[in-house]
Amino acid sequence: MGAWTLDDIPWHRFDPARVDRDLVPIAKAASLVEHNGASYAHHLCLIFADDPEFQETARRWGEEEVQHGRALARWAALADPDFDFDAAFARFRAGFQVNFDSDRSRRGSRSGEMVARCVVEIGTSSYYSALREAAAEPVLQEICRRIAADELRHYRLFYKQLDRCLAREGLGRIGRLRVAISRVAESEDDELAYAYHAANQPDRPYDRRQCSGAYARRALALYRPHHVERCIAMLLKAIGLTPNGRLGLIASSLAWQAMRYRAARLAKAAA
């Protein structure tokens, strides 16, 4: 179990007047992706079949991700009583399929798998921090505060495991950079777009481009420069580079400009 449960959330403080309607569709989509965490934990246990200590950590991690999904789903149902999480999750599972039964990492090595996991936790910790800061509704703020703290802890536990793996496998900085870039690029793939579709468009055919744009437009609008700076510092650390030097400043500035450019294009397209 995680450090908190759904009973720790002050649901009675939910204030419908303070719900930002643009945040509801992305909270629903996030609830589906998070709730899929148990399947990924199963995959990690297969990859680390000879490491019972890490398997235990991975199972606990998976339970925490599922709880994130439950908390977001409950909030989304308060914000939109028509939201049927079970039906949406069934649509998501039916339409977005990954082979979680494989004992081989798609990243080519255990170290690569841990770099990819670090990238995901960097992304989620910054995303929920940005969502908390953007949200005016007090219950969503509290959920995001707790989730963001969990995601940061998840980053640390995968980073620790990465260190252990590197001692045996010796994946160099270039190899780690390659995995990190490919995982960042995957954030544009089907998972989030399909989750957005499954959560918000039960009566429409899936249009990946439209869903990806609709999700990204709402998500990118949440970020501020300090979120990006933190992301880049954590990313550089996972790759094995100095997190707070000149490289970090340049990479943060470039990433921020790229995000602004994309956000502006998506906003213009939606106008």
Residues 109-128 that bind Fe ion (CB under 5 A): 121
Task: Determine, following the binding rule CB under 5 A, whether residue 91 of this chain makes contact with Fe ion.
Answer: no
Contact residue for Fe ion among 65, 113, 137, 142 (CB under 5 A)? 65
Residue placing its CB nearer to Fe ion in the complex, 68 or 218:
68
Interface with Fe ion: number of residues (CB under 5 A): 6
Task: Determine, following the binding rule CB under 5 A, whether residue 132 of this chain makes contact with Fe ion.
Answer: no
As measured in angstroms, the least distance from the Cβ of 264 to Fe ion is: 28
Residue whose entry in the numeric block shows the structure tokens 């744009």:
213
Backbone Cα Rg of the chain: 18
Contact residue for Fe ion among 43, 68, 217, 218 (CB under 5 A)? 68
Q: Which stretch binds Fe ion (CB under 5 A): 23-31, 145-153, 157-165, 260-268?
A: 145-153
As measured in angstroms, the least distance from the Cβ of 247 to Fe ion is: 26
Contact residue for Fe ion among 110, 154, 197, 218 (CB under 5 A)? 154
Contact at 8 Å (CB) between 203 and 84? no
Amino acid occupying residue 222? L
As measured in angstroms, the least distance from the Cβ of 151 to Fe ion is: 4
Q: Which stretch binds Fe ion (CB under 5 A): 148-156, 190-198, 204-212, 263-271?
A: 148-156
Angstrom distance (rounded) from CA 265 to CA 23: 19
**C-alpha distances in Å from residue 213, one per residue of 15, 112, 113:** 29, 29, 28
What the block records as the tokens of 18 is: 């303070």
Task: Determine, following the binding rule CB under 5 A, whether residue 151 of this chain makes contact with Fe ion.
Answer: yes
**C-alpha distances in Å from residue 254, one per residue of 101, 179, 259, 262:** 38, 20, 9, 12
Angstrom distance (rounded) from CA 106 to CA 191: 16
Map residues 30-59 to x or -, x wherever contact with Fe ion holds by CB under 5 A. Answer: ----x-------------------------
Residue placing its CB nearer to Fe ion in the complex, 63 or 169:
63
What the block records as the tokens of 265 is: 């294009």
Contact at 8 Å (CB) between 2 and 63? yes
Angstrom distance (rounded) from CA 190 to CA 202: 17
Binding residues vs Fe ion (CB under 5 A): 34, 65, 68, 121, 151, 154
